[in-house]
Amino acid sequence: MKKSSVIILFVTSLLFVFNCTTKSDEKKPNKSAMNSLGLIGGLSWHSTLDYYTAINESVNSHFGNNTNPPLLIYNINQAEIHRFQKEDKWDSIAYLLSQAGLKLKKAGADAVIFCANTPHKVYNQVQKDLNETPIIHIGDATAKVIKNDSVDKVGFIGTKYSMEDDFITKRIKNNNIEVIVPKDITTINELQRIIAEELTYGIIKPESKAYVITVLQEMINEGAKGIVLGCTEFPLMILKDDLSVPLFNTTLIHSKVAVNFILNSDN
């Protein structure tokens, strides 16, 4: 065989091996170093947008470029959730959340978060349905930040369900943090009305904001050294400069823990 023929045969063989390897690699999934996160949103979509923005911005900042995280979003029908809440059908709410979580899991989510506080009322039931796929709890994340800031007494506002029940506040109290919650039913109902009739629609009324700030100031007068916005809609209205004590924005806190999960980081 001529030398030139041998060279051509050798090059052809290399190209064949290269092409086979390339095609084989193309069939393999490109596993990112980042974990995939499923967001159960629409609770409301306004606060879901804040989650999406905060998570993307943090990951972009981490990499110093436009690297985006692998997020999957399931948008819940909030009107249906509100109807079940009024009818006290929490099993039905758990079912909707579980179905959303299972779809996210099937789509590749390594963990799931509820983009709101109130759905955590059925956290245990949904977590059981999702089995080994973890649901990152907003209450645990918030308690950790409060404790790290050396605050031992906070005021808490949220939906009537999170103020009347302790599925969020108990997680905070378990960290030796005292929690003040409105007890007057008129106050509780008015805060619920502001959330359900205004904030979930993206409406911010000056008179409603003034009312909420008055409620929070009363908590501060009772000794609260910080305020927990225990509804992901309240950060749309109440800003850190509105009060004289630290504000614990559960949307941003939850988003930060979500970013840590995505990046496999403990920071």
Q: What is the pLDDT of residues 77-101, one digit of tens each?
A: 999 999 999 999 999 999 999 999 9
Q: Cβ contacts of residue 159 below 8 Å, gap of 6+?
A: 117, 118, 191, 192, 195, 196, 231
Helices 90-106 & 123-130 angle (0-180, nearest 10): 30
**pTM listed for this prediction:** 0.84
3-state secondary structure of 109: coil
Say if residue 121 is in the same domain as residue 206.
Answer: no
Residue 44: band (very low, low, confident or very high) from pLDDT cuts 50, 70, 90: confident
**Are 103 and 193 in a shared domain?**
no
Residues 127 and 135: beta-carbon distance below 8 Å: yes
146 domain residue, yes or no: yes
Q: Walk across the sheet containing 111-114 and list its strands.
A: 71-75, 37-41, 111-114
Neighbours of 184 (CB within 10 A): 10
Residue-range definition of the domain harbouring residue 181: 139-249
Q: Do 143 and 245 fall into the same domain? A: yes
CB 55 within 8 A of CB 259: yes
- 98 and 71 assigned to the same domain: yes
Same domain, 63 and 152: no
State the total domains in the chain: 2
DSSP per-residue letters across 111-162: EEEESSSGGGGGHHHHHHHHTTS-B--HHHHHHHHHHHTT--EEEEE--HHH
Q: Does residue 174 sit in the same domain as residue 212?
A: yes
CA distance 159 to 221: 22
Q: Per-residue pLDDT tens for 120-170? A: 999 999 999 999 999 999 999 999 999 999 999 999 999 999 999 999 999
| pLDDT, position 267 | 65
69 in the same domain as 133:
yes
Pick the range with the lowest mean pLDDT from 45-49, 133-137, 153-157, 214-218. Answer: 45-49
Q: Name the phi and psi angles at 179, rounded to 5.
A: -125, 125
Considering the domain architecture, whether residues 125 and 184 belong to the same structural domain is answered as no
| 152/68 same-domain check | no
Q: What's 166's domain CATH number?
A: 3.40.50.1860
Neighbours of 201 (CB within 10 A): 11
Tell me if 221 is assigned to some domain.
Answer: yes
Specify whether 129 is located in the same domain as 192: no
**Is residue 16 scored above 60 in pLDDT?**
no
Whether 52 is in a domain gets the answer yes
CA–CA separation, 231 and 250 (whole Å):
7
pLDDT (0 to 100) of residue 221: 97
